Structure 1
Amino acid sequence: MWKPNRQSNQPLYQQIADDLERRISYGEFPPGSVLPSERKLAEQLEVNRSTVVLAYSELRALGIIDSRSGSGTRVTKYKWGATPKHPPNWHRYAEGGSFLPNLPFMRRIREALGQNQSLIDFASGELAADISPVEEINILMNENHYTEYLGYDNPQGFVPLRQELVNYLSQYRDIHTTDSSILITSGSQQSLYLITQCLLSPGDAVAIEDPSYCYSLPMFQTAGLRLFRLPVDHKGVRPEDIRTLYKKHRIKMVFINPNFQNPTGAVLDNERRIQLLDVASELGLPIVEDDPFSLTAYEGAPPPPLKSIDSIGSVLYIGSFSKIAASGLRVGWMVAPHSVIERLADARQQMDFGLSVIPQRVAAQFLKSPYFVPHMDRLRMHLLYKRDLLIKALQKELPDLITFTIPQGGLHLWCKIIPKINDSKLLEEAIRRGVIFVPGSVYGSDSGYMRFTYARPKAEDIGSGISKFAAALRDVLS
């Protein structure tokens, strides 16, 4: 006899409802037939009666069964000549399709933040309002009234923004390009999505860092890609590991975040950068460089991107405003050979006919305004201050239980809990106490690692947030 799968993410009652609906549709239970009682079916399936009650409620809501006192539960008997009518089984549709849902931990984090606005948020990878250029952007929007017709824009993105990005990339990232080699996207994630869907095929092998933000993106699995790991140490990835993966798995692309890597904060060593490009050119491998954090370097000049020393065109370069200005603008960009840009622009136009021109105008104005440089100076100062508050709190609350390497830029602190810990229990206990973080397993690490983002919480909440986390950790360990 069929039994529900207790290892499945689908609730038991929903599995039971789906199985009964299938059996009814196949005629095993014809119209008017009596279904087992709630108690008897619960005994047969070895579940609680309340689970069967929920399953029957689901089928009643669909109009498939009726329950009457003294008559038990029956399959609905339709009148002669009438057409059975009930809504689609949306649960089955929602579980189908080829695009995979977010990882369970990420869904849990999003759910918790939506339910409790007072949680101290070390999970969200975006800037808080107090360190975003909110006032400056409001001034620019008030000063510039748009009178032009707001129709569909150029498939590659708003031309004035791409022209400003040419200047920005040259001045701040030492990348020399033209506006025809730039594609505007809705952020780094859309850039990655377009690459996985348009430049790769199901079954292709790709290399990503370990740990890596890419592990948190189901889009790679949705595209049918095989993922192979490049371990990250304090100097970043080791170029020879790429050669090894190529020989063993014939990898077709490398995804890398070389500057203040997410989540570890590591910066790729200068010597390794040169070696990495040499290996890529030798093997004919494209490198996708995601560079959202470089301008947050706290001291000295930001580390250069790989693209700035790429002499033969091996690197597809991705950037975004999300980590340096405002994630809500939803403006990112990609620098690539023109043939690639044309291919991706065509695909993106099929998806959404291009981005809204209004945030692109705002982004272009902000880049050339006198507000950009002062904002970046303030941003670095505030991030450094918050990083130090977080480190001080961890050293005070958990001096013998957590280790970490202090990042010199970016938004994140990557930590390891010394005793063995259950990630799920720790996350739930932390949420119960009013604080939230991202478990390291989201990024492909073993349990016991975690990422604290210090850009999101208010400075005055960081100490109390770590105090709550410390109490949760000690409770789970005990």
Structure 2
Amino acid sequence: MEWKPDKNNSKAVYKQIADYMEKGIQNGLFPIDKPLPSERKLAEAYKVNRSTIVSAYAELEANGLVEKRRGSGTVVSKDIWGLAKKRIPSWNKYIERGSFQANMPVAQRIRNISEEETLVNFASGELSDELMPDEYVRKIIKSGEFSGHLGYDHPQGNIGLRETIGEHVKRYKGINAKPESILVTSGAQQAIHLIIECLLKPGDAVVIENPSYHYSLPIFKSAGLNVFHLDINKNGFNPEDLIDLHKKHQIKMIFLNPIFQNPTGTLLSVAKRKRILDLSSEFGIPIVEDDPYSLLNYTGEDTATLKSLDENGNVLYISSLTKIAASGFRIGWVIGPQPVIERLSDAKQQFDFGHSIFSQWLGNEFLRSEYFETHIQSLKIRLEQKRDKMIKSITELLQDQVDYFFPHGGIHLWCRLKMGIDEIKLLEQSIEEGVIFTPGSILGTKSGFMRLTYGKASDEEIPIGIKRLAKALGKITS
């Protein structure tokens, strides 16, 4: 089989394969009523995942060109024109025509293989098992103190949890928030989705940082928003850039992660935090502050949130337990003006009828416990050690090929590939060597960068992963 799919083509690989085989059926390359190559054999020939071939065959089957036979595999149908055979829906066409955008193919690939045990995972944004409070959570469950009902709870979330969140953000973030101004969400990402769906409309202009985690979210495109960028350097972004953007595009909302930003790890200075709030008030533009990492501060620098500095009620504040405890809690929250919270709450109830009462109970018990402070202090020490271990390995093995932003908190190391290396090709080679990372092009407009996350890999895996990355770099540059 000399033909090969073009992985750089904008058309999905499975579609290319299906189109090629359809032409082959029409011109007799694949004879009627004869078995087609097995999924495994075709995957090896085209150097793709077996799931890609499954999708291609499903497309051909939906079009009535092939059929599956027990014991014979997939064969070209005798009834190509569908005169005698019932047709099944072309599900792939329905999938493609839906209005909600899929993740980028590279992001899907990372997600699908990231749990393979042989890979050192520098791509996942969650904490490793050893950093999660599993033992304490088991104690909470074994205590048998759950006395709540198991029916629907308040649309904004359990009142006890919202009161605890209010106390938490007051103590740790300097934010004054009453329970009625708090909505419990399924992590921070659901909060972002609710804000976009409820408060914006197609054609609205919004601003995000570049690079940023928000850049990777398909929801902005799905909602038909026009997205503009504030470029990030080692000192964060320049708030003055917002002035020209607003004059040209009439910005409706700003999405920011100013404290140990994902992916760069940068901390926006206090002066810049205050300036962006001044501009928000001057132009009447609301700010959505995404704050996963402010508690993961290794040096004691000023990490006052925008919300704590906000005197005019311009900031919608989002945070969660995901990055400071465990992703499995699925507990996040939005803090904002009560009418906004009620609007978001109404939408959330339409989506899922409210959050699980049991996970809210667990989150409440954990967040209000004396153990929480112990956990955070231990977590900061362990993450700083992981960061130093990763930087040490990079210095020893990649010093001439990679430089990076030095983070004072959070879980990410933002790296630049010095030699203009294609980070997607490096990713593929790295997967072969047994390590995975997040290419910078998923998170921003510039190529030649990668995000190495040190929160997921164990202490032992970090130097192994960097060694594998160095080997992959050597192979594609030799």
TM-score, length-normalised on structure 1? 0.88
Counterpart of 2:270 in structure 1 is 270
Give the conservation status (yes or no) of the 8 Å contact 1:13–1:55: no
TM alignment of 1:139-178, pairs within 5 A? 139-178=139-178
CA distance in 1, matches of 2:145, 2:158: 17
CA distance in 2, matches of 1:63, 1:252: 44
Counterpart of 1:444 in structure 2 is 444
CA distance in 1, matches of 2:90, 2:286: 44
Change (3 A) 1:333 1:61: same
Aligned-pair Cα RMSD in Å: 2.7
Counterpart of 1:419 in structure 2 is 419
Counterpart of 2:454 in structure 1 is 454
Unmatched 5+ residue regions in structure 1? 21-33, 42-47
Counterpart of 1:75 in structure 2 is 80
CA distance in 2, matches of 1:54, 1:252: 43
Per the TM alignment, residue 109 of structure 1 is displaced from its structure 2 partner at its CA by: 0.6
Counterpart of 1:134 in structure 2 is 134
Per the TM alignment, residue 144 of structure 1 is displaced from its structure 2 partner at its CA by: 3.4
Change (3 A) 1:92 1:274: same
Counterpart of 2:219 in structure 1 is 219
Per the TM alignment, residue 61 of structure 1 is displaced from its structure 2 partner at its CA by: 4.1
Change (3 A) 1:337 1:72: closer
Q: Secondary structure at the match of 1:75?
A: coil
Per the TM alignment, residue 62 of structure 1 is displaced from its structure 2 partner at its CA by: 4.5
TM alignment of 1:237-386, pairs within 5 A? 237-300=237-300, 303-386=303-386
Q: Secondary structure at the match of 1:85?
A: coil
Give the conservation status (yes or no) of the 8 Å contact 1:17–1:59: no
Counterpart of 1:94 in structure 2 is 95
Per the TM alignment, residue 111 of structure 1 is displaced from its structure 2 partner at its CA by: 2.0
Aligned length: 447
Counterpart of 1:38 in structure 2 is 29
Would you say 1:391 and 2:391 are equivalent positions?
Answer: yes
Would you say 1:13 and 2:17 are equivalent positions?
Answer: yes
Would you say 1:200 and 2:200 are equivalent positions?
Answer: yes
1:309-348 Cα distance to aligned partner (Å, 9 max, x none): 1000010000010000011010000001000001000001
Counterpart of 1:44 in structure 2 is none
Give the conservation status (yes or no) of the 8 Å contact 2:18–2:56: no
CA distance in 1, matches of 2:322, 2:363: 11
Per the TM alignment, residue 64 of structure 1 is displaced from its structure 2 partner at its CA by: 2.6
Change (3 A) 1:64 1:345: same
Change (3 A) 1:302 1:184: farther
Per the TM alignment, residue 77 of structure 1 is displaced from its structure 2 partner at its CA by: 6.4
Higher-Rg structure is: 1
Change (3 A) 1:59 1:306: closer
CA distance in 2, matches of 1:129, 1:101: 28
Per the TM alignment, residue 59 of structure 1 is displaced from its structure 2 partner at its CA by: 7.0
Unmatched 5+ residue regions in structure 2? 33-41, 47-52, 68-75
Give the conservation status (yes or no) of the 8 Å contact 1:383–1:455: yes
Q: Secondary structure at the match of 2:475?
A: helix
Q: Secondary structure at the match of 2:261?
A: coil
Q: Secondary structure at the match of 2:373?
A: helix
CA distance in 1, matches of 2:297, 2:160: 28
Which 10-residue stretch deviates more, 214-223 or 140-149? 140-149
1:230-262 Cα distance to aligned partner (Å, 9 max, x none): 011222221111111000111100010010000
AA at the equivalent of 2:28: S
Give the conservation status (yes or no) of the 8 Å contact 1:296–1:302: no
Counterpart of 1:27 in structure 2 is none
Per the TM alignment, residue 89 of structure 1 is displaced from its structure 2 partner at its CA by: 1.4
Q: Secondary structure at the match of 2:231?
A: strand
Seq. identity, %? 42
Per the TM alignment, residue 301 of structure 1 is displaced from its structure 2 partner at its CA by: 5.4
Q: Secondary structure at the match of 1:333?
A: strand
CA distance in 1, matches of 2:382, 2:55: 52
Change (3 A) 1:365 1:36: same
Per the TM alignment, residue 72 of structure 1 is displaced from its structure 2 partner at its CA by: 9.2
Q: Secondary structure at the match of 1:209?
A: strand
Change (3 A) 1:85 1:473: same
